[in-house]
Amino acid sequence: KESQVKKELEHQKESSKSVLERVIEERARRLETLEKCEEEPNRLNGAPEFLQVHAKLRARMNSK
**pLDDT higher at 62 or 28:** 28
pLDDT of residue 38: 75
The pLDDT > 70 percentage for the chain reads 84
Cα–Cα distance, 56 to 60 (Å, whole number): 6
- Who contacts 14 (Cβ-Cβ below 8 Å, separation ≥6)? 22
pLDDT of residue 29: 93
Cα–Cα distance, 36 to 22 (Å, whole number): 21
Task: Give 23-64 as a DSSP string.
Answer: HHHHHHHHHHHHHHHHHHHHHHHHHHHHHHHHHHHHHHHHH-
Kindly state the DSSP code that residue 16 receives in the 8-state scheme.
Answer: H
